[in-house]
Amino acid sequence: MTVTKKMEDVLRQVDERQDELIELVQTLIKFETPAPPARNTNEAQAFVADFLKDQGFSIDRWDVYPGDPNVVGFLNGTDSKNYKSLIINGHMDVAEVSEDENWEKDPFTPIVRDGAIIGRGAADMKGGMAGALFAIQLLRENGVELPGDLTLQSVIGEEVGEAGTLQACKRNGGAEADFAVVVDTSDLHIQGQGGVITGWITIKSDKTFHDAMRRKMIHAGGKVVGASAIEKMMKVMEGLQELERHWAVTKSYPGYPAGTNTINPAVIEGGRHAAFIADECRLWITVHFYPNETHEQVAKEVEAHILNVAKGDIWLKDNPPTFTWGGTSMIEERGEIFPSLEVDPDHEGVQLLAGVHERVSGERATIDVSPTVTDGGWLGDAGIPTVIYGPGDLNNAHAVNEQVSIEQLVYYTKTLLQFICEWSNTRKKT
């Protein structure tokens, strides 16, 4: 039997064994892994680890946080030196569920109806993870040997900006691969993404004043040099709005509507209580930036502009704002970074994936940019050419009665299965 004939048989099995694929998605959904609260992926990750062990993978498992382990499975290729390697990346956590959400059924009791699987994580992204696992299972069961190395990263914390993928990239040479596919929600588009960084801007006075001193601070002859940090933060917010408008005029990126690079003043905290002039105020901002920018770059731009604003204020020039950027967890540190990811449409891996997608689905592949963010930027930052490609759409991600199309899930699984095989059989350039 030729490799081509064997692959035809394997691809046919995705249709013939569709019920097994659906059952695998349902199994993953039944593990309750919302983040927040997080710290709840132990059982789900143990399932993935055991699944990969059964397929001949060696397993590296460690706690990123107690109760939230990463699982990385590694399958040695038969000729790793000469053939291309691949990382498949996905996250096991899902979006939080509020008590007042009107689900048709318990979000973690999946149902199948009208050609869709319904349950929390179906689209984002347990459907994508299940398809990847099922593709690997079919390859292994049918004796399809892969010349190149294959790594599957099942990570935690993506929903709350935690460092699951970052740790996977840094640990034990985890960032060594010729290509990576993040199987997150993309509606079967091949995508890059912009980036996100959060930051805290702090205004703090070195003096404190009773609120009865306000008259002397703001009227002629009071002879008290002071200010409310809350009121001064209003000038900083105006400065952020000016910078945001400037970016909207001066920056753009193909595939994004003008002004997608935003600065959102999300949370403000300040003051002690009503008997004090506010001596400290903190503003939590979220900055979205384009795929051809870095989080370090945009943070410096924000700082430079706001410090110039401060120089024009009689009090802020002597009490300039300070900045704290990013973080490895929205839960632990109230901060996150999602690096941007540019996709080269001419890259060998992108071209191959696009070609396989077209052969399987009969539709030309769409190569564009995601309006949201994934962990793909961390793989790109590690120097690995990376794309986002997965089933499900953003209308369903995080939604009540979240669902994924079974037809799309089947197309995705076939595409990924074929791509794994063909990429692994692609010779490295010497």
Catalytically annotated residues: 93, 158
Half-sphere exposure of 29 (CA within 13 A, CB side): 29
CA distances, 318 to each of 205, 221, 225, 303, 331 (Å): 10, 21, 11, 16, 34
Q: Compute the distance between CA of residue 286 and CA of residue 393 in angstroms, rounded to an integer.
A: 23
Peptide bond into 37 cis (omega under 30): yes
Peptide bond into 330 cis (omega under 30): no
Q: Compute the distance between CA of residue 371 and CA of residue 364 in angstroms, rounded to an integer.
A: 21
Report the amino acid identity of residue 94.
Answer: V
Q: Which helix (H) or strand (E) holds 196?
A: strand 195-204
Q: Compute the distance between CA of residue 336 and CA of residue 157 in angstroms, rounded to an integer.
A: 11
Token representation of residue 304: 């430079």
Token representation of residue 22: 């659906």
Q: Compute the distance between CA of residue 265 and CA of residue 382 in angstroms, rounded to an integer.
A: 30
Q: Compute the distance between CA of residue 286 and CA of residue 283 in angstroms, rounded to an integer.
A: 10
Burial 309-328, CB ≥16 within 10 A → b, else e:
bbeebebbeebebebebbbb
CA distances, 171 to each of 130, 253, 336, 382, 429 (Å): 24, 33, 20, 12, 26
Token representation of residue 343: 């996709």
Contact 148, 423 (CB under 8 A): yes
Conformation bin of residue 418: beta by default, left when phi > 0, alpha when psi is -120 to 50: alpha
End-to-end Cα separation, the chain, in angstroms: 30
